[in-house]
Chains A and B, each alone.
Chain A
Amino acid sequence: MQPQAAPLTANPDGNSPSVSPAAPAVLRFALSRLAYVGVTLLVVTGTLYALLMLAPPEARAALYVPPNVRIGLDPAIMDRRIEAIVREHHLRDPFPIQYGYWLWRLARGDWGWSPTLRTEVLGALAQRAPMTAELTLYSMLLIIPLGLLSGAWAGWQVDSQGDRAFRALAYLAASVPAFILGLILLSVFYVGLRWLPPGRTNAIDVIRIAGSSFRWVTGLLTVDGLLNGRPDITLDALRHLALPAISLSLTHVALVGRITRAAMSEENAKEYVIAARARGVPRRRVLWRHALRNAIAPALTSLSLSAAQLLTGVYIIEAVFNLPGVSSLLIRSLQQVPDLPLAVGFAVFSVLLVLPVMLGLDALLALIDPRLRASGGPDE
């Protein structure tokens, strides 16, 4: 399936891989990933709009209702208004034209006005995005090193005691749903031991942050705390993030670990490992320098493929811990109230949150594995 594009720039067995490949290969890799993101975005928003088109044009007019207009005043006036919206936004045209106009409007940053929140949809989403991004970021920082290292360590000594312990723990971790784990951690560490709190900040810090002296730079509380010279706020934010990040990552650590373990045990039997050992390279060095590099790809690829599930997990964990992230819109603005602009905005925004995670993982993979830089991306 994958185009046989470029010759391999590195030794395929990873024995002392050349870290500086030709520049065009890197460029081609970056371009192919960007094209991939573009296609993904089009396909996914196209599907979403196709779903939307199952509703009649008059119902879809709700997407374009301007601020502070209430539907259902005088039926005659309302009908005329809706008809005007339907005409203006081409809601009776064929799919490609409608979709094009809709997408163009999104691209210009006009995501509509939410009647339940009484604000602009894009603003409401963007305001809550940093919390979600922060939780995702710190979970990834737990998942990738822990999963890779534990899996590599266990896979290097298959059927040893350590490996058996790893397998049992990974099994358990993969079986407990994240939100149940979150609930249990909450009951133990928050209610029982009173070590770690839910929410994003302490009540006192909320007041301090609301004050004018605190400048928002990135929106990430852990980073902005440091930038403002307030390590106490960073520390507090980390304390609040600990439980959610742990409950979110445990399942994924187990999955990444299991895949890495399998890949590692395969690498362990390969000839280059034996050759390196025969040359007198220490076992430990063969493990971390030679074999691990080759065993990383399947785990990171599977993580990148399940980035959407990861985001779903983030939303669920946000709800468990009462974090004011993007998903708080989903929960707060009651589902019974029809709010189409917010619903559609939420869906599109979620995809926009998934793509950077996928891209980041691909970039990481390309950094580690030079073969991918050459071939244009992880395909399988």
Chain B
Amino acid sequence: MSSRRLFLSRLGNWLALALVTLFVVAALAGPRLLTPSVAQRDPFKKLPLPPGGEHPLGTVGGSDVWAGLVLGARDALRLGLTVTALTAVLGVALGAVSGYAGGLTNAVLMRLTDAFLAFPAVAAVWVIGYVLVASSQAGEPTSLTVLMIRLRLSPVMLALILFSWMPYARLINTTVTRLKREAYVEAARALGAGPERIILRHLLPNAIAPAVVQAARDIGSMVILATAFAFVGVSGESSQWGSLLLSGRDYVMGAAGNPLRYWWTYLPVSLALVLFGVARNLLGDGLNGALNPRQRY
């Protein structure tokens, strides 16, 4: 495959793969790297302990930083993959169907897509959380609650899915609108292929590349956003990194004159997140270069 060779020919892409491997290994092997006692939170030891002994990276707020980092990688990847997969499916389906239908349907659906761009996901988290609690208290669980429990979705994840599918829809829509007039699509239709077959077998394979690049970037963005939400205090149940950073924040401010006095409370997590961001951009750009060679940035 030429695009694979193109991808592997660049040094930055190897770095991206190395970083991704690092995070995946941490996520998969995570619990085995830790002794069970270390991962437990001791709420009575509030003062941060410096690195050493049974805490290789020290503690903050009673929890072990190393354990939080490793277990956080697991949370992060699960969240990133779940949210991105569902977002991409939603956006791609909408963009493809609307583009294939064309005409008024397409115009209306694309206006809707643009309107969704004006909604900040963080604003919906709270409302979604309330709705979930309220509908589960009401006795009979709704289909949404059942779905969310099945997929282990938190309100943060649902908010991210509901309000980040728009780029996929726009990307796919543009390409499908252009491709559906090509002769090979016409030929398929003349041979009696139905709309589903044309979309799935003929249009999507040719239109999917930009969406793949977007998804590669989004896995990282979603994790960083979710961590930021947890850091801000929007329901932090699904981000170890966010809550670690939240406890670390007080020690950035608290150490008078010397910000490095309690460095282990915030630097390791910050570094992990920066590396996550670097991996996201390297991977996205690398895939972009390999899959969309004609695009310049």
Q: Do A and B come from one complex?
A: yes
Instruction: Name A's B-contacting residues (CB within 8 A).
Output: 1, 36, 39-40, 42-44, 47-48, 51-52, 54-56, 58-60, 171, 174-180, 183-184, 186-188, 190-192, 194, 198, 258-259, 261-262, 265-266, 305-309, 311-312, 315-316, 319-320, 327, 330-331, 335, 338, 340, 343-344, 346-347, 350-351, 354-355, 358, 380
Contact A187 B297 (CB under 8 A): no
Contact B252 A186 (CB under 8 A): yes
Q: Across the two chains, which residue of chain A brings its CB closest to B138?
A: A56
1/0 per position for B256-273, CB-CB distance to A under 8 A?
111110000010001001
Distance of A223 from chain B, by nearest CB (Å): 25
Which among A42, A56, A175, A346 has the highest number of chain B CB atoms within 10 Å? A175
Is B278 positioned at the interface, with any CB of A under 8 Å from its CB? yes
Is B93 positioned at the interface, with any CB of A under 8 Å from its CB? no
CA distance in complex: A180, B234 (Å): 17
Interface SS of B by simple majority: helix
Q: Across the two chains, which residue of chain A brings its CB closest to B126?
A: A343
Q: Across the two chains, which residue of chain B brings its CB closest to A254?
A: B281
Contact B252 A262 (CB under 8 A): no
Chain A residues within an 8 Å CB radius of B274:
175-177, 180
Distance of B23 from chain A, by nearest CB (Å): 14
Q: Across the two chains, which residue of chain A brings its CB closest to B295?
A: A262
Given A59-B138, A177-B274, residue A330 in contact with residue B232 (CB < 8 A) = yes
Q: Which of A55, A319, A338, A355 contacts B231 (CB 8 A)?
A: A319
Contact A315 B122 (CB under 8 A): yes
Q: Which of B112, B120, B233 contacts A308 (CB 8 A)?
A: B120
**Which A-B residue pairs are the 10 nearest by beta carbons?**
A59-B134, A187-B259, A262-B297, A43-B115, A350-B123, A55-B134, A343-B126, A175-B277, A347-B123, A191-B259
Contact A183 B266 (CB under 8 A): yes
Chain B residues within an 8 Å CB radius of A350:
119-120, 122-123
Contact B138 A54 (CB under 8 A): no
CA distance in complex: A32, B194 (Å): 37
1/0 per position for B174-190, CB-CB distance to A under 8 A?
10010000000000000
Which among B130, B137, B177 has the highest number of chain A CB atoms within 10 Å? B130
Contact B259 A51 (CB under 8 A): no
Instruction: Name B's A-contacting residues (CB within 8 A).
Output: 106-107, 110-112, 114-124, 126-131, 133-135, 137-138, 142, 144, 162-163, 174, 177, 224-225, 227-229, 231-235, 245, 249, 252-253, 255-260, 266, 270, 273-274, 277-278, 280-281, 296-297
Chain B residues within an 8 Å CB radius of A36:
114
Q: Which of B106, B118, B235 contacts A351 (CB 8 A)?
A: B118
Given A39-B111, A183-B249, residue A335 in contact with residue B126 (CB < 8 A) = yes
Given A187-B259, A330-B126, A330-B233, residue A261 in contact with residue B118 (CB < 8 A) = no
Distance of B118 from chain A, by nearest CB (Å): 5
Contact B233 A40 (CB under 8 A): no
Given A180-B270, A262-B297, residue A192 in contact with residue B117 (CB < 8 A) = no
Chain A residues within an 8 Å CB radius of B110:
1
CA distance in complex: A371, B277 (Å): 37
Given A48-B127, A350-B123, residue A316 in contact with residue B255 (CB < 8 A) = no
Contact A1 B177 (CB under 8 A): yes
